[in-house]
Amino acid sequence: MINPTAPQAIAALLTDRMLELRASRRRALVCYVTAGHPDRAASIALVQGIADAGADVIELGVPFSDPVADGPVIQASSQRALDGGMTLDRTLEIAAAAAVRVPLVLFSYLNPLLASGADVLIRSRDAGISGILVTDLPVGADPEREQWIGGGPLAFVRLVAPTTPVERMAAIASHGSGFVYLISRLGVTGARDDLPVDLPATVARLRGVCSLPICVGFGVSTPTQARAVAHLADGVVVGSALVQAAERSVDEAVAFVRSLRAALDGA
């Protein structure tokens, strides 16, 4: 039997978990947490709490000084974490300290990875990370660095935009693993009052060329919205609304995740 804490098992955890969820027809709840927000201790408690509350995957965001893809909520959380001394290496310390059995995805811009050294992917795996998403590294933009990440020990989650042509959707999916993150709308992250009317058609186009599980994010902020997305996709990503709840208290964030889990289970 493979030791579930062994490096090879940790690296496979995200892919295996997503396939298990698909086989059981359970919709994945993917939760985003900014590492070091509101502080280190709260981050550890938050990761542990939302894992217990029903998160299937946790994205651990690496604070960055120029988060161009993020809206005001996540930008503010990132700045607060940076002001508190959070770095990529300390993000990995949070992952290791949390020690959850839920797959962790390192959510980062490219620069912090490059600054951290060539062994950052190995160190991430050893800290308990099983996947990685690089927000500013689209398919084909930098083949050498894509090969470095894609050839490493972590599942490489790729982003697809709603305006992406079908042929490019297929190319993106073929260069990814774990799951595909479908951005529900153009623009930056942040809670929205409604979902795009063309989201069902976008999911259908992607599903036609993608064998990986599809998780939808950007703007999903309520249990009702999460339930609606669950009828379309394999999973739901919730970020800004959860970060806002964590700003108030860990307990409120955990309760919010429980409400999302209940909504998905009732979909």
Question: Distance (Å, rounded) from C-alpha 31 to C-alpha 25?
Answer: 19
Q: What is the pLDDT of residue 5?
A: 58
Phi then psi dihedrals of residue 2, to 5 deg: -75, 130
Which residues neighbour 196 within 8 Å (Cβ) at sequence distance 6 or greater?
162, 184, 185, 202, 219
Domain range annotation of the chain:
9-266
CATH superfamily for domain 9-266: Aldolase class I (3.20.20.70)
Q: How far is CA 85 from CA 9, 37, 166, 247, in A?
A: 31, 11, 42, 17
Catalytic option among 56, 59, 93, 146? 59
Calculate helix-pair angle for 250-265, 240-248, nearest 10 degrees.
140
Q: Examine the residue annotation and report whether 59 is marked as an active-site residue of this protein.
A: yes
Peptide bond into 38 cis (omega under 30): yes
Q: Using alpha carbons, select from 180, 167, 176 the residue that is nearest to residue 209.
A: 167
pLDDT confidence band for 193 (50 / 70 / 90) = low
For residue 183, what are its two tokens? 């951005």
For residue 63, what are its two tokens? 């604070």
Q: Per residue in 40-49, is it b (16+ CB within 10 Å) or e — as a string?
A: bebbbbbbbb
Q: What average pLDDT does range 183-200 have in this prediction? A: 69
Q: What average pLDDT does range 140-151 have in this prediction? A: 96
**Residue 141: exposure state from Cβ atoms within 10 A (0-12, 13-18, ≥19):** exposed
Which of 79-88, 94-103, 187-196, 200-209 is predicted with the least confidence, judged by mean pLDDT? 187-196
pLDDT in tens, 215-252: 999 889 999 999 999 999 999 999 999 999 999 999 99
- In the predicted structure, residue 187 carries a pLDDT above the cut 90: no
Q: What average pLDDT does range 89-114 have in this prediction? A: 98
Answer for the pair 27, 73: CB distance below 8 angstroms, yes or no.
Answer: no
- In the predicted structure, residue 158 carries a pLDDT above the cut 90: yes
pLDDT in tens, 6-56: 666 787 899 999 999 999 999 999 999 999 999 999 999 999 999 999 999
Which residues neighbour 242 within 8 Å (Cβ) at sequence distance 6 or greater?
31, 32, 33, 50, 253, 256, 257
Q: How far is CA 213 from CA 20, 25, 63, 73, 78, in A?
A: 11, 11, 27, 27, 28
Catalytic option among 20, 56, 66, 70? 70
Q: Write the DSSP symbol of residue 98.
A: H
pLDDT confidence band for 89 (50 / 70 / 90) = very high
Which residues neighbour 150 within 8 Å (Cβ) at sequence distance 6 or greater?
156, 175, 177
Q: Examine the residue annotation and report whether 144 is marked as an active-site residue of this protein.
A: no
- In the predicted structure, residue 80 carries a pLDDT above the cut 70: yes
